[in-house]
């Protein structure tokens, strides 16, 4: 069994459908490395040319740069041909605009500055899950994207803001869905526990699960994914390489955006060894594994370069022998009950 990158999968009961391969614009926005305007636009255009029709972005990515770049490319295409998800919960503000008492996400980028062709200005992102904050975020995202509506709106990393997120942000995005400003609502996080709580306490359409349902880390399997099946909530997978350790399992690799601890490096190496024995690229197994779960609609590739993006369709269609998945189970590297390509 392999996966067709341009196959469409539905998002809950919303009527939206997304391609199995999506483009995540974290890197396009210059979050991890400086990506100039031309290269960023070229990567988005390449995704379009290969048939990708689902694009995920956020104000956080390059302080609005990713949204602006995505909007420039999509402006040349008919609105009904693509699906865009963006996020709310952080507002992009210039340093001189930040009010006293604001909760600034200083850990995101430190003193980094970004440029999208305008004069370079220092920015920060300010956490704000209030009703007014969500409405401002949506308005600003629509302006940067050049769109009149948002297909999917995620609450972005509300880890330390549960009460405000469920008490103010959720009713606000629920109302925006009723008004047709957005078509689907959800949350995007690097953990599964709070997403499970959202699924049980709210009426959501889709979650973006980053790094918690991968070949290396199957934390979401036991509670979140079954809850999503029960509630007809679709799942989009991000961070499939776990910040890079599955792309290159070495002592200098990253996991969860930090240097990988020794036990994670060792587990990644064991995964690589099994793949090597079966002549399968580790990245192919990492990409195909989460797509085998029936609730997973799409995998977003958070790449900033065309050559990295071009790998994904090839690896999605790499033939992986059933014996590889059997050996991973016998080695204790796959959680019991985790679906695998081919259904073994």
- Known catalytic residue: 61? yes
Instruction: Give dist(CA 319, CA 342) in Å, integer.
Output: 10
Instruction: Give dist(CA 129, CA 3) in Å, integer.
Output: 37
Pairing state of beta strands 8-10 and 296-301? unpaired
Neighbours of 198 (CB within 10 A): 24
What backbone phi and psi angles, to 5 degrees, belong to 85? -115, 140
Q: Which of 61, 63, 213, 312 is catalytic?
A: 61
Answer whether 302's CB lies under 8 Å from 30's CB. no
Query: Per DSSP, what are the bridge partners of residue 307?
Result: none
Answer whether 134's CB lies under 8 Å from 88's CB. yes
Instruction: Give dist(CA 199, CA 236) in Å, integer.
Output: 14
What backbone phi and psi angles, to 5 degrees, belong to 153? -120, 120
- Non-local (6+) Cβ contacts of 32 within 8 A are 26, 304
Active site residues: 61
């Amino acid at each position: 069994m392999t996966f067709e990158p341009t196959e469409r999968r539905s998002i809950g009961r919303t009527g939206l459908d997304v391609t199995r391969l999506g483009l995540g614009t974290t890197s396009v926005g210059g979050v991890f490395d400086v990506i100039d305007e031309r290269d960023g636009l070229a990567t988005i255009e390449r995704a379009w040319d290969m048939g990708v029709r689902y694009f995920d972005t956020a104000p956080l990515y390059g302080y609005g740069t990713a949204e602006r770049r995505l909007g420039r490319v999509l402006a040349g295409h008919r609105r009904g041909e693509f699906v865009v998800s963006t996020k709310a919960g952080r507002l992009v503000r210039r340093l001189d605009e930040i009010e006293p008492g604001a909760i600034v996400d200083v850990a995101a980028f430190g003193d980094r500055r970004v440029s999208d062709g305008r004069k370079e200005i220092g920015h920060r992102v300010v956490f704000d899950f209030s009703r007014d904050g969500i409405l401002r975020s949506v308005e600003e995202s629509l302006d940067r994207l050049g769109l009149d509506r948002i297909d999917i709106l995620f609450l972005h990393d509300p880890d330390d803001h549960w009460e405000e997120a469920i008490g103010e942000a959720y009713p606000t995005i629920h109302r925006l869905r009723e008004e047709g400003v957005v078509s689907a609502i959800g949350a995007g996080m690097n953990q599964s526990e709070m997403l499970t709580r959202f699924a049980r306490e709210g009426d959501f359409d889709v979650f973006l699960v980053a790094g918690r349902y991968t070949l290396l880390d199957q934390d979401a399997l036991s509670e979140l994914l079954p809850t999503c099946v029960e509630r007809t909530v679709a799942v989009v997978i991000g961070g499939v390489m776990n910040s890079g350790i599955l792309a290159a399992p070495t002592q200098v690799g990253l996991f969860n955006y930090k240097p990988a601890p020794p036990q994670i490096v060792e587990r990644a190496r064991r995964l690589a060894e099994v793949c090597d024995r079966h002549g399968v690229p580790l990245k192919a197994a990492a990409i195909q594994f989460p797509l085998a779960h029936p609730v997973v609609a799409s995998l977003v590739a958070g790449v900033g370069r065309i050559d990295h993006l071009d790998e994904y369709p090839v690896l999605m269609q790499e033939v992986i022998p059933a014996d590889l998945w059997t050996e991973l189970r016998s080695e204790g590297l796959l959680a019991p009950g985790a679906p695998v390509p081919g259904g073994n």
